[in-house]
Amino acid sequence: MGDQKNRRLIIGTLAVLLTGSIVYHFLEGWGWIDSIYFSVITLTTVGYGDLSPQTDLGKIFTIFYVITGIGILFTFINTFFQHRVDKIQTKQNKK
């Protein structure tokens, strides 16, 4: 995953997770670990339900965060695994 496109995808994914973490930290008053945890759990669509936004602004942010963030996170995951599959196939073709 060394090319420019993949670097931008990694940076974009980290930026989305960081943005969510910062917003939840300040809007909901959560600690940093809870904010990061909630951002990751939300964007991976796991959603354990142990944390949820209580403020109106937090809820509104979450609507937009999920709509934009899930696509970015899943694109990152897909790109990462596709890179791995390509690497394995290249290795097998050389044998």
Q: Please state which CATH number belongs to domain 4-94.
A: 1.10.287.70
Structure tokens at 65: 């965060």
Whether the CB-CB separation of 63 and 23 falls below 8 Å is answered with no
pLDDT value, residue 90: 86
Tokens 């890179």, residue?
83
Mean pLDDT by 10 residues, the chain (95 residues): 75 92 97 97 89 96 92 85 85 80
Whether the CB-CB separation of 28 and 54 falls below 8 Å is answered with yes
| This prediction's pTM | 0.76
Dihedral Cα 23, 24, 29, 35, nearest 10 deg: -130
Nearest to 38 by CA among 76, 65, 60, 11: 65
